[in-house]
Structure 1
Amino acid sequence: MEKTTDCTARSPEDVLGYIPHAIGFQPRDSLVCLTATGKELGAILRVDLPRAGASRARLRDHALAVLAYLSHDAAADGTFLALYQEAPVAQLQSRHAAFLSILESMLSGAGRPVRECWLIGADGWNGSGCRLGECLLGLGRGGLVTENPCRHPLELISNSALAAEMVFRGSAVQAHPDDASDSPGRVPDPRRSASSGEDPGSPGGDDGSSAGPSAEELTGALAEWEPLLDGSQSWAGLLPDTGWPERLGRTLEVPALRDAVYVSAADGHETALRGSLKDGPSWRERFGAVIIAETGEGPDWARMDRFAEVLGRLRRETGDGTTAAVLTALGWVEWCRGRGTHASAVLRRAARKDPELHLARLLLELVLMGRLSGWSTRRDSSWRRSPQTG
């Protein structure tokens, strides 16, 4: 779940034009929810639609999960919904009426009623607040009204003033994450890996070995990352030294070094350095809390964004040779941000590249279970996507 950016939406087209920029891609088979407090938009959440033919009990469970996610924005007093599916709008109205009716009832009961619901299909879009008198779509106890549905062209969304403003700011809608992903095999229990005994954030290797790097290696790995994480060194400045990409990538392949780099990205160089060298119970607890995104105050998002940028450059530099460790780190950042679709796509690729990399498989299972990172569920610690973020 992400924060919305600072912008002004003056029409339904503006909100719908903003959504792909906010989540980074054009939604498919998705329900996008935006919380609101008064006239201010809050968090944005994308979830998959219920499966076709799901029972009413399943629809209720799906709606309860959505409500649970949205409830983390405790100040919200309203909700906007946008449902996306590649089908004619007229079909969407009847296909999802039961689910939307259940969700609308739950949201109203929770004190955050639906202010607007839009359906975006293959041939156009409409919504409960369309300005044209003949647009009769609305939410009510009987579900969606389907008589004489209005249909607006999709170009109104892509050409909206806010969509143009986002492009002007440098934002670009990326390809859907699933377009570049493969399906992994079976993944293990995320709470513990039976084959290695590794817990996320625990000392020791992915192969179950307790041998770790030396203090010199830990210090050196963090020192190589620090200029890139604090912003004092750009990637362009590293290119003449062709050994940099390989050295950075290798630090992510040794679990103890990897954990230290993750903590440095989220919690600062000093925390990572002291925790790596002292390795007491309190430091292990801190490392674990960072890696499962459960520190109450949230991470340093500027450092995390730089970490993601470097990982993206490493991925582009190596192409198909990108290591599973680099992909896992990128998946971890995306999960921390609350971008489950991005995280699952990258983690699937990591799990296929190296089925023995337990952290990738553990994180993937968390995503597939629908577990959001703790940071992404709180307004004061959640990530806000900048126009330059891919």
Structure 2
Amino acid sequence: MEKLTITTPSDVLSFIGHTVGFWPQESLVCITLDENSIGATLRIDLPRQPGQELPYARTVAHYLTSDTSATSILFAVYTSATAGPGEARPYAGTIAALTGVLAEQGITIRDGLFVGDDTFSPYDGEPGTSLALPVSSAQTSAINAEFIYRGSFVEPTDRITLPSTSQEATKAAAVEHHMETIRTWSTDTALQQGRKLWADMLDSTVFPSDDSCHALVANLQFPAIRDRLIADIPGVDEPMQQILFAQTQAAPKWSRIEWAQQLLLRAYTRTTAEHAAPVLTAIGYINWWEGKGSKAHQFLQLALDTDPAYRLARLSDQMIGSGIVAGWNMNKDTAYKTLPFDVP
């Protein structure tokens, strides 16, 4: 695939929006760079309490240094907070602390943007000067047009809206029917049949029937089968534990992972709250693999809303909350990326 070049600040904002999938609010976004090639993108909420600048900076640096090839970063501060002429930019202490912490790791800050509600400007520029550009210019950038051409779009926020479901009694009965059948099989047979069903879905180019969706949801109710089916998503032939924690030598097949998420969302609409937790947890895993920690957290919380005792969702959410990054995102050759980019 031909590489694209980010040349303007508007291109940077477009890239951020499409990469994280939504327009950030009260956020710090950092993009790692190796020479002129873009690496990982991190979005994290801005600190809410004063006096936390250094611990916050160390947390951000911990994530950024997971990209071992990074030599510099670009950053953007998204906030509704303002500063008058002669006043320091909002979160200046945070950026100063981050600059120092990254310098200790041999990483420099190449440039920064201050993104307000209506305009954006260089972070180190004087507030209110003519350097400010309208935020809407991101919608007319060349990079934005390329992303849209490739089928990408930017949500206004990161809040997840799940598709609605209906006919709950019928769907629950259909899933239970498949679960009864699975219980009659030996462990090996049940696992083999579940993997074949899932492989056929992943290898297909069309959405499965409602009955196949019910069967998939039924298989996901059994932990041993569920874990194996999640591990089958990336299309990597390595030990299951290494796949689940995104620590494989081979790069995952990201297009297959994206298709799996669409299949799981379709299966979700064919089930009920009674059986939804494993489906939502699997989608949470996919978002974690892709480096979308905030969305992964939301899907896992939705899983726990349907079943507060669902152990895999709770353990996975604790793992993400502790700052553990999916192993694939620590290597630019295996990390999830929408398009290859360079910066001048």
Aligned partner of 1:125 in structure 2 is 120
Amino acid corresponding to residue 296 of structure 2 in structure 1: A
- The answer to whether the Cα contact below 8 Å between 1:89 and 1:121 also exists between their aligned partners in 2 is no
Cα distance change, pair 157–342 in 1 and its aligned pair in 2 (3 A): same
Q: Is 1:249 aligned with 2:217?
A: yes
Name the stretch that deviates more: 149-158 or 162-171.
Answer: 149-158
CA contact (8 A) 1:324 1:353 kept: yes
Shift of 1:375: 1.7
> Percent identity at matched positions?
28
* 3-state DSSP of counterpart to 1:75: coil
Q: Alpha carbons of 1:360 and 1:50: their partners in 2 closer, same or farther (altered >3 Å)?
A: same
The unaligned stretches of length 5 or more in structure 2 are 163-184
Alignment of 1:354-369 (within 5 A): 354-369=307-322
* Alignment CA distance shift 1:89-1:24 (3 Å): farther
CA distance in 2, matches of 1:175, 1:350: 23
Residue 234 of structure 1 is matched in structure 2 by 205
Q: Shift of the alpha carbon at 1:34?
A: 0.7
Note the 1:237-386 alignment, pairs <5 A.
238-239=208-209, 242-268=210-236, 286-318=239-271, 323-385=276-338
Partner Cα separation in structure 2 for residue 248 and residue 123 of structure 1: 46
Deviation by residue 1:263-285 (Cα, 9 ceiling, x = unmatched): 211355x76xxxxxxxxxxxxxx
- What's the counterpart of residue 45 of structure 1? 42
Is the 1:17–1:160 Cα contact (8 Å) retained in structure 2? yes
Q: TM-score, normalised by structure 1?
A: 0.74
Pairwise CA distance, 1:70? 1.4
What is the correspondence of 1:1-390 to structure 2 with a 5 Å cutoff? 6-53=3-50, 55=51, 58-88=52-82, 94-128=89-123, 137-138=124-125, 150-178=131-159, 180=161, 214-229=187-202, 231=203, 233-236=204-207, 238-239=208-209, 242-268=210-236, 286-318=239-271, 323-385=276-338
Structure 1 81/319 Cα, relative in aligned 2: closer, same or farther at 3 Å?
Answer: farther
2:329 counterpart SS class: helix
* Equivalences, count: 316
Q: Distance in 2 between matches of 1:351 and 1:75?
A: 37
Deviation at 1:72, TM superposition (A): 2.2
Q: Conserved in 1, the CA contact under 8 Å of 2:84 and 2:128?
A: no
CA, structure 1 residues 104+300, in 2 after alignment: closer, same or farther (shift >3 Å)? same
**CA 1:37 to 1:90, structure 2 compared with 1: closer, same or farther past 3 Å?**
farther
Contact 2:81 2:90 in 1 (8 A): no
For residues 177-236 of structure 1, give each alpha carbon's deviation from its aligned partner in whole angstroms, at most 9, with x where no partner exists.
Answer: 33549xxxxxxxxxxxxxxxxxxxxxxxxxxxxxx962111110001011222x2x2333
Q: Return the alpha-carbon distance in structure 1 between the equivalents of residues 290 and 244 of structure 2.
A: 13
Q: Which amino acid aligns with 1:170?
A: G
Of the structure 1 ranges 19-28 and 155-164, higher mean CA displacement relative to structure 2 is found in: 155-164
Contact persistence 1:180–1:345 (CA under 8 A): no
Cα RMSD of the aligned pairs, angstroms, is 2.7
1:124–1:213 Cα change, 3 Å: farther
Cα gap change, 1:367 to 1:149, in 2 (>3 Å)? farther
Q: Is residue 217–residue 271 contact of structure 2 (8 Å, CA) maintained in 1?
A: no
| 1:17-47 deviations in Å (ceiling 9; x for gaps) | 1211111111112111111122222221111
In structure 2, relative to structure 1, the CA distance for the partners of 1:121 and 1:251 (3 Å cut) is same
Q: 1:356: Cα distance to partner?
A: 1.2
Evaluate the alpha carbon distance shift between residue 308 and residue 65 of structure 1 in structure 2; reply closer, same or farther with a 3 A threshold: same
Q: For 1:345 and 1:6, how far apart are their aligned partners in 2?
A: 32
**Deviating 4+ runs (over 6 angstroms):** 319-322
Question: Are the counterparts in 1 of residues 27 and 45 from structure 2 also a CA contact under 8 Å?
Answer: yes
Q: How far, CA to CA, are the matches of 1:11 and 1:19 in structure 2?
A: 13
Contact 2:28 2:45 in 1 (8 A): yes
3-state secondary structure, aligned to 1:324: helix
CA pair 88-348 structure 1, distance change in 2 beyond 3 A: same
* Distance change in 2, residues 1:179/1:249 (3 Å): closer
Q: State the one-letter code of the partner of 1:337.
A: E
Amino acid across the alignment from 2:63: Y
How much does 1:156 deviate? 1.5
**2:111 aligned partner, one-letter code:** E
**Contact 1:252–1:325 (8 Å) recurs in 2:** yes
Distance 1:11 1:85 in 2: 21
Contact (CA 8 Å) 1:235, 1:310: kept in 2 or not? no
- Preserved contact between residue 234 and residue 252 of structure 2 (Cα < 8 Å): yes
What amino acid is aligned across from residue 228 of structure 1 in structure 2?
M
Contact 2:21 2:158 (C-alpha < 8 Å) held by counterparts: no
* CA spacing shift, 1:175–1:319, aligned 2, 3 Å: farther
* 1:35–1:178 CA distance, 2 compared to 1 (3 A): same
